[in-house]
Structure 1
Amino acid sequence: MIAIAPTGVRVGCRVIRDGDEGHLLPEEARSIPARQPAMRRASGAARWIAHGLLTELGANGVAIPRAPVGAPVWPDGITGSLAHDDDMAVAAVAPIGHISSLGIDVEPAQPLPDDIFALVAIPADRTDAADRHLAGRILFAAKEAVYKAVYPLDREVLGYEDITVDLNSGQAKTKTGRKVRLAYCDAPRVVVLAFVEAR
């Protein structure tokens, strides 16, 4: 998965394990209202990855609390993103510089159900370059990752119809005109990394 990341972006993944909620630092644990053990385990796994990536950037032992809007709060000068499905957690971090914002999403490598595809896809989306069985799932993950990347910059709530994805060129655009680059892999999980380059 590291191969999908542009220069300067650190990415990691791991299988969620029993006890991963124990990786939450006290400030993180207080900020995550979920009482369901599975949700706290997944949050702990994703933050455990992110803590390691942040240490590589010289930010050791820094908490990544959850903001009231649900997004992780990163240290000054750092952008990042967390995601998980039922089994896998992923994280991406980068110093703010030529990359101004990141978003990441992970999904099972399975076809997207038709009813969800109908909600996600718009006629302008382009997915010809993707595996046809997984194109819908990659599209879904791409729009989730794009939203995570642009929300901290624009503070605007976007629906799936507000994001146009072109997997052929590895780009996306929002209704606000924000341009986002995309990179993805589809095995063993669908992982999409969205990143906004500094202008």
Structure 2
Amino acid sequence: MARAVAAMAPAGVRTGCRLIREGDEAYLLPAEAGSIPARQPAMRRASGAARLLAHRLLADAGFDGFALLRTPSGAPAWPDGITGSLAHDDDMAVVAVAPVGHIVSLGIDVEPALPLPDEISALVAMPADRTGTADRQLAGRILFAAKEAVYKAAYPLDRQVLGYEDIAVNLETGHATTSTGREVSLIYCVAPRVVVLAFVDGDGV
């Protein structure tokens, strides 16, 4: 899966993925642990797994030991000059990081490769959405992950809270548009989980 996610990432974007393991909460730096309100062990393990990946990618970019704090909005506070995103499901954590330049904002999401429950699909799918040739069984799940990733990429730029109805996704063209007029590119893979990477390039700012 790590190879599949890395292969789909645009130039300059580095990615990582990790199966969440017992004890991963120990990878939270003290300041990070204090910034994360969740007390449930599973949530803290997932946060630790994601931040372990982020620490490695940030160290490669010259930010060794950087504490990736959780902001009041829930998004991590990346170093100046870096854009990135974290995500996890119950079993897997994923991260994407890039220097700000050609790409100015990133969002990533991971989901199990299972059909999305009908009651959730009814909330996520909108008439403007286009799933193209995506696997019919997984189209709803991919759409859900795409909207989550697009929101993560758009929020740092626009500071607008968006619902599913505020994001129109076209999986066939690999683009999404928000109700604020933000244009976001997206790429996805299913290997063996659904992973969607969304990004805003410099021309879209």
Quick check: TM above 0.5?
Answer: yes
Task: With the length of structure 1 as denominator, give the TM-score of the two structures.
Answer: 0.99
> Partners in 1 of 2:8 and 2:35 — Cα distance?
31
Deviation at 1:56, TM superposition (A): 1.6
CA distance in 2, matches of 1:74, 1:157: 20
The structure 1 residue matched to 2:163, chosen from 156, 159, 165, is 159
Map of 1:120 onto structure 2: 124
- What are the within-5 Å matches in structure 2 for residues 1-199 of structure 1? 1-199=5-203
1:128 CA displacement: 1.7
SS at match of 1:60: coil
Q: Aligned partner of 1:68: which letter?
A: P
Q: Which amino acid is 1:85 matched to? A: D
For 2:178 and 2:73, how far apart are their aligned partners in 1?
A: 20
Moved >3 Å (runs of 4+):
none
What SS does the aligned partner of 2:169 have? strand
Distance 1:189 1:7 in 2: 22
Q: Report Cα offsets for 1:117-157 as digits up to 9, x if no partner.
A: 11001111010221111110000000000000000100000
For residues 133 and 187 of structure 2, the distance between their equivalents in structure 1, rounded to whole angstroms, comes to 12
Read off the aligned partner of 1:80 and give its amino acid letter.
G
Deviation at 1:40, TM superposition (A): 0.4
User: How many corresponding residue pairs?
Assistant: 199
Distance 1:69 1:20 in 2: 23
Deviation of 1:107 (Å):
0.3
Paired amino acid for 2:159: R
Letter in 2 for 1:30: G
Percent of matched pairs sharing the same residue: 74
Distance 1:29 1:58 in 2: 22
Distance in 1 (alpha carbons) for counterparts of 2:95 and 2:178: 23
Q: Deviations over 1:54-87 (max 9, x none)?
A: 1121211111000011110000000000000000
Distance 2:57 2:136 in 1: 33
Q: By how many angstroms is 1:11 displaced? A: 0.7
**Structure 1 unaligned runs (5+)?**
none
User: Cα RMSD (Å) of the superposition?
Assistant: 0.6
Structure 2 counterpart SS, 1:45: helix
